[in-house]
């Protein structure tokens, strides 16, 4: 190994020891060693702009989260089978943000939260069927992998799952529906009603409509488009399960939870990524009567879920969002970010629609006649990486830049991003 730099060693080590299912980002992988707010530093001391990482939502290595974790780790870390005050204080504050909900269970990942949500929904409804959108990702357990069409053809969707298109206004308009939230809602509800009928016909019935309310893997779509679909599912005895792993914890700015932007309350809410700023902690919240049929039949224990250290991280995240005003910040900063991005877009035919809410933005990359262009989008992601700006892509055609930075993003970060994008588009 003499003479090899650290990055090369890390690459060789990955090939020799890690499972091949892991995918590295970028043709020239990034080797990070330190972070602060939305900035990252690599092994050579070079500074990067993180416009992608919604896990460290209150900022990389936030001192209050670090201190809370260190302090609790130095005192005690057990599990939920002993008494602890911190989990009760946190639960009270979390449930206060979730209208109509009075029960919460803690887990470690978004996958586990969705897995439990589906089990709970099946017991509560007596039905098995689940409806998801066509590019959705809901996690990596056997149960929810089969509800994640984003995983592609190698992972079959379970037989009791129906896949509907996401509420994409452009698709609704192409089918002759008005290009309004009402038109998109009706179009989407038509697909959901057909899925419910198909599940009824198969004898499964509908247990849940499971959706991510910003449609983060589907391509990022607008608010106020879920009402009629949720009503149809409820009328058939099913529940609305809001997967808040992506839009939750203030990212959309408009609301603390993404599903509230649709003017709806969910029956079950699941969270993950941003909840502990990188410490593994997730939650499934619901109402007592929804939880009861499962909880009184099946014992449930999660060794790490909700332990005092993970709750300390989660509490610090909630405190920071409140004390630093990050929800309002996400709203105002996100709006000016999209205004700046639209200015850049105006100078480049490769940029289609710029859309999103709060600090969740999609930037469409298109070909010469306006068609989705995945190859070009990938070149843009790589070009941005070469300018030390980190992003990725989403959507059915993999052509929508997914821009969702840590919430303490600044006006200077916007300027860095827009300049890098402008340059990349000019000279990919
Ligand atoms: N739901 C959504 C919407 C997600 O984006 C993800 C992760 N990308 C998950 C669930 C799964 O979360 P985890 O990786 O923590 O299991």
Q: What is the pLDDT of residues 242-299, one digit of tens each?
A: 999 999 999 999 999 999 999 999 999 999 999 999 999 999 999 999 999 999 999 9
Q: What are phi and psi of 261, to 5 degrees?
A: -65, -15
Is the interface score ipTM higher than 0.85? yes
Q: Which residues contact 386 (CB under 8 A, 6 or more apart)?
A: 28, 424
Residue 1 counted as domain residue:
no
Domain boundary among 268, 301, 323: 323
pLDDT in tens, 27-56: 888 999 999 999 999 989 999 999 999 999
CATH number at residue 43: 3.90.1150.10
pLDDT in tens, 223-248: 999 999 999 999 999 999 999 999 99
Is residue 19 pLDDT above 90, yes or no? no
pLDDT in tens, 339-352: 999 999 999 999 99
**Ligand 1 in reach of 109 Cβ (< 6 A):** yes
Distance 279 CA to ligand 1 centre (A): 14
**Ligand 1 in reach of 141 Cβ (< 6 A):** no
Q: Are 285 and 101 in contact (CB under 8 A)?
A: yes
Residues 270 and 391 occupy one common structural domain: no
Distance 367 CA to ligand 1 centre (A): 30
Residues 392 and 336 occupy one common structural domain: yes
**Ligand 1 in reach of 138 Cβ (< 6 A):** yes
Confidence of residue 4 (pLDDT cuts 50, 70, 90): low
Residues 259 and 382 occupy one common structural domain: no
Confidence of residue 1 (pLDDT cuts 50, 70, 90): very low
**Ligand 1 in reach of 245 Cβ (< 6 A):** yes
Distance 337 CA to ligand 1 centre (A): 25
**Ligand 1 in reach of 280 Cβ (< 6 A):** no
Distance 273 CA to ligand 1 centre (A): 7
Residue 309 counted as domain residue:
yes
Residue 199 counted as domain residue:
yes
Ligand 1 mutation target, pool 141, 213, 246, most atoms within 8 A of CB: 246
Residues 52 and 82 occupy one common structural domain: no
Distance 150 CA to ligand 1 centre (A): 11
Residues 315 and 334 occupy one common structural domain: no
Closest protein CA for atom 13 of ligand 1: 110
Q: Which residues contact 418 (CB under 8 A, 6 or more apart)?
A: 340, 341, 343, 344
Residues 93 and 79 occupy one common structural domain: yes
Residue percentage of the chain with pLDDT more than 70:
98
Residues 152 and 290 occupy one common structural domain: yes
Is residue 411 pLDDT above 70, yes or no? yes
Dist. CA 63–CA 82, nearest whole Å: 28
Q: How far apart are the first and last CA of the chain?
A: 34
pLDDT at 11: 83
Per-residue pLDDT averaged across 416-428, rounded?
94
Is residue 107 pLDDT above 50, yes or no? yes
**Ligand 1 in reach of 62 Cβ (< 6 A):** no
Lowest mean pLDDT segment, chosen from 21-30, 156-165, 323-332: 21-30
Q: Are 341 and 363 in contact (CB under 8 A)?
A: yes
Task: Write the CA distances from 60 to 32, 98, 230, 382, integer angstroms.
Answer: 12, 26, 36, 23
Residues 206 and 226 occupy one common structural domain: yes
Q: Which stretches of 324-373 are DSSP H helices?
A: 326-346
Q: Which residue has the tokens 């408009």?
A: 254
Dist. CA 410–CA 406, nearest whole Å: 10
Domains contained in the chain, number: 2
Residues 310 and 182 occupy one common structural domain: yes
**CA-CA-CA-CA dihedral for 210, 213, 53, 106, to nearest 10:** -50
What range defines the domain where residue 102 resides?
Answer: 63-323
**Ligand 1 in reach of 243 Cβ (< 6 A):** yes
Q: Which residues contact 86 (CB under 8 A, 6 or more apart)?
A: 72, 308, 311, 312, 315
Q: Are 370 and 361 in contact (CB under 8 A)?
A: no
**Ligand 1 in reach of 110 Cβ (< 6 A):** yes
Domain boundary among 297, 323, 349: 323
CATH number at residue 74: 3.40.640.10
Residue 136 counted as domain residue:
yes
Residues 232 and 336 occupy one common structural domain: no
Residues 46 and 72 occupy one common structural domain: no
Domain boundary among 323, 356, 378: 323
Residues 230 and 331 occupy one common structural domain: no
Q: Are 319 and 367 in contact (CB under 8 A)?
A: no
Per-residue pLDDT averaged across 407-411, rounded?
98
């Amino acid at each position: 190994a003499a003479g090899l730099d650290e990055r090369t060693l890390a690459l060789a080590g990955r090939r020799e020891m890690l499972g091949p299912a892991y995918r590295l980002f970028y043709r020239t992988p990034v080797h990070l060693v330190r972070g602060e707010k939305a900035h990252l530093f690599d092994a050579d001391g070079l500074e990067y702009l993180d416009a992608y990482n919604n896990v460290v939502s209150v900022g990389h290595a936030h001192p209050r989260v670090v201190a809370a974790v260190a302090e609790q780790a130095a005192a005690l870390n057990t599990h939920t089978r002993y008494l602890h005050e911190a989990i009760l204080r946190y639960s009270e504050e979390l449930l206060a943000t979730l209208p109509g909900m009075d029960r919460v269970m803690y887990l470690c990942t978004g996958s586990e939260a969705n897995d439990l949500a589906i089990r709970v929904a099946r017991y509560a409804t007596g039905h098995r069927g689940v409806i998801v959108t066509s590019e959705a990702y809901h996690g990596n357990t056997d149960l929810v992998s089969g509800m994640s069409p984003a995983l592609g053809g190698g992972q079959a969707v379970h037989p009791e799952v129906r896949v509907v298109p996401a509420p994409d206004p452009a698709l609704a308009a192409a089918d002759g529906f008005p290009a309004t939230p009402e038109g998109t809602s009706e179009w989407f509800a038509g697909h959901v009603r057909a899925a419910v009928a198909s599940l009824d016909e198969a004898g499964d019935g509908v247990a849940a409509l499971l959706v991510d309310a910003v449609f983060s893997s589907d391509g990022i779509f607008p608010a106020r488009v879920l009402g009629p679909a949720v009503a149809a599912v409820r009328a058939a005895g099913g529940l609305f399960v809001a997967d808040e792993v992506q839009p939750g914890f203030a990212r959309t700015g408009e609301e603390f939870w993404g599903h509230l932007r649709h003017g709806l309350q969910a029956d079950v809410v699941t969270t993950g990524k941003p909840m502990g700023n990188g410490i593994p902690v997730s939650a499934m919240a619901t109402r007592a009567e929804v939880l009861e049929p499962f909880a009184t039949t099946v014992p449930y224990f999660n060794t790490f879920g909700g332990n005092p250290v993970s709750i300390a991280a989660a509490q610090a995240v909630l405190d920071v969002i409140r004390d630093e005003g990050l929800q309002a910040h996400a709203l105002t900063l996100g709006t000016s970010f999209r205004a700046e991005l639209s200015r850049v877009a105006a100078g480049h035919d490769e940029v289609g629609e710029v859309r999103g809410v709060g600090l969740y933005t999609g930037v469409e990359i298109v070909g010469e006649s306006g068609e989705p262009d995945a190859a070009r989008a990938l070149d843009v992601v790589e070009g941005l990486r070469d300018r030390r700006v980190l992003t990725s892509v989403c959507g059915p055609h993999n052509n929508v830049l997914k821009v969702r930075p840590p919430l303490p993003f600044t006006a200077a970060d916007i300027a860095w991003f827009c300049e890098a994008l402008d340059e990349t588009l000019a000279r990919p």
